[in-house]
Amino acid sequence: MTELPLLTSEGPAADALREDVRSHYAAAANAASAGTDACCGPASCACGGADDAFGAGLYDRTQLDVLPDEAVLASLGCGNPEVVADLREGEVVLDLGSGGGIDVLLSARRVGPGGKAYGLDMTEEMLGLARRNAEQAGATNVEFLQGYIEDIPLPDASVDVIISNCVINLSADKGRVLAEMFRVLRPGGRVGVSDMVAGDDLSPGERAERGSVVGCIAGALSFTEYRAGLGAAGFGEIVVEATHEAVPGIFAALVKARKPVTPRATSR
């Protein structure tokens, strides 16, 4: 299996990985649309034998009770990022890899009618499911965008908070993802992400032995690589903290960081 360094260039291998991820999560969306729990299907992150490390079980039941069933069934994440991000009324939040929309819908409730929640996904099936879920939930302050997390279709400095739930590990070009996150955040904006992270003692090859890329294992950055990547992108106040072990040496983790406030030029 190909080893995935922090930064990779676009090419046939990256394109093949992206298509593999797209087809797997399209199948997950179709499963959820049919009323089947996507976490139990062949497209889920939970297929690596760590079912308790992924999915809707990581949310509080009171959160899930206000959501459409299909949004809950499509939950494939490894955490609860909108809680990590400490969302506030009136903020603009962006969910990278928004899937069936569970985190977008929860975020929309937290930021209120004066705020907005964007969801970004490359998979048409997931976007269709998410938009149906938003309509069923009566959410009017949400918008789902089609595109890649390596090329976010939003202007510079347009977002207060970025969340993501077990998606950044799926990218073959994580350095570009982190740079795009920095670009679209406003000065002082913050990151609150749930992701899979590898122990620093595991090589990329050893990560691949523990699970596939589409299973959210082989593509995981180490703790040191994650911190270094965020720092290289320009972020400060970086925290990468494990919450639970999914498979030996691979952890679900909370990732927090902030874009520094650009000092104002002083007049003379």
By DSSP bridging, strand 250-258 and strand 236-247 are antiparallel
Using one digit for the tens of pLDDT, what is the confidence trace for 127-177? 999 999 999 989 999 999 999 999 999 999 999 999 999 899 999 999 999
CB neighbours of 148 closer than 8 A, spacing ≥ 6? 18, 122
Give yes or no for residue 25 having a pLDDT over 80.
no
Using one digit for the tens of pLDDT, what is the confidence trace for 149-162? 999 999 999 999 99
The listed CATH number (3.40.47.10, 3.30.70.20, 3.40.50.150, 3.40.50.720) that belongs to domain 12-258: 3.40.50.150
Is residue 160 within a helix (H) or strand (E), and if so which, with residue range? strand 159-165
Separation CA 196–CA 51 (nearest Å): 14
Q: Give me the residues paired with residue 222 across strands.
A: 198
pLDDT at 76: 54
pTM for the complete prediction? 0.82
How would residue 78 be classed by pLDDT, with cut points 50, 70 and 90?
low
Separation CA 259–CA 234 (nearest Å): 7
pLDDT at 4: 42
Question: With contact defined as beta carbons under 8 Å apart, do 46 and 40 qualify?
Answer: yes
Q: Give me the residues paired with residue 134 across strands.
A: none
pLDDT at 215: 77
